[in-house]
Amino acid sequence: MLRSNDDPRALRSRAAALAAATELLVEGGPENVTHATVAKRAGIGRATVYRHWPDQQALLLDALAGDVRPLLSFDDSPVRDQLVFQAEQLAHRLNQPSAVSILATVIQRAERDEEARRLREEMFGQADEDLTRALAAAVERGELRPGTQGHARDLVARIIGPLLFERFLHGVHLEKDLVVSLVDAALAPWLPNA
Partner DNA sequence: CGTCTGTGAGACAGTATGTATCGAAGAGAA
Partner DNA sequence: TTCTCTTCGATACATACTGTCTCACAGACG
Closest distance of CB 109 from DNA, Å = 17
Q: Does 70 bind a second copy (CB under 8 A)?
A: no
Which of 8, 75, 171, 193 forms a contact with a second copy (CB under 8 A)? 171
- Partner touching 12 among a second copy, DNA, none, CB below 5 to 8 Å by kind: DNA
Closest distance of CB 23 from DNA, Å = 17
Q: Does 66 bind a second copy (CB under 8 A)?
A: no
- The set of residues, in sequence order, having a beta carbon less than 8 Å from that of 149 and lying 6+ positions away, is 132, 133, 135, 136, 139
Which segments within 20-149 are labelled E, that is strand? none
Which of 87, 163, 174, 187 forms a contact with a second copy (CB under 8 A)? 163
Task: Tell me, residue by residue from 36 to 75, as one string, x for binding to DNA by CB under 7 A and - for no binding.
Answer: x------xxxxxx-xxx-xxx-------------------
Q: How many residues does the chain have?
A: 194
CA 145 to the chain's CA centroid: 30
Q: Which is nearer to DNA, 3 or 170 (CB)?
A: 3
Which amino acid is located at 6 in the chain?
D
DSSP string covering 67-103:
H--------SS-HHHHHHHHHHHHHHHHHSHHHHHHH
* DSSP code, position 194: -
Which amino acid is located at 180 in the chain?
V
Q: Which is nearer to DNA, 22 or 86 (CB)?
A: 22
- The set of residues, in sequence order, having a beta carbon less than 8 Å from that of 112 and lying 6+ positions away, is none
106 and 124 in contact (C-beta within 8 Å)?
A: no
- The set of residues, in sequence order, having a beta carbon less than 8 Å from that of 189 and lying 6+ positions away, is none
Q: Which is nearer to DNA, 4 or 193 (CB)?
A: 4
Q: Does 174 bind a second copy (CB under 8 A)?
A: no
Which of 45, 69, 108, 150 forms a contact with a second copy (CB under 8 A)? 108
Q: Which residues bind DNA (CB under 7 A)?
A: 2-4, 6-10, 12-14, 34-36, 43-48, 50-52, 54-56
Q: Which residues bind a second copy (CB under 8 A)?
A: 27-31, 97, 100-101, 104-105, 107-112, 117, 120, 123-124, 153, 156-158, 160-166, 168-171, 182, 185, 188-189
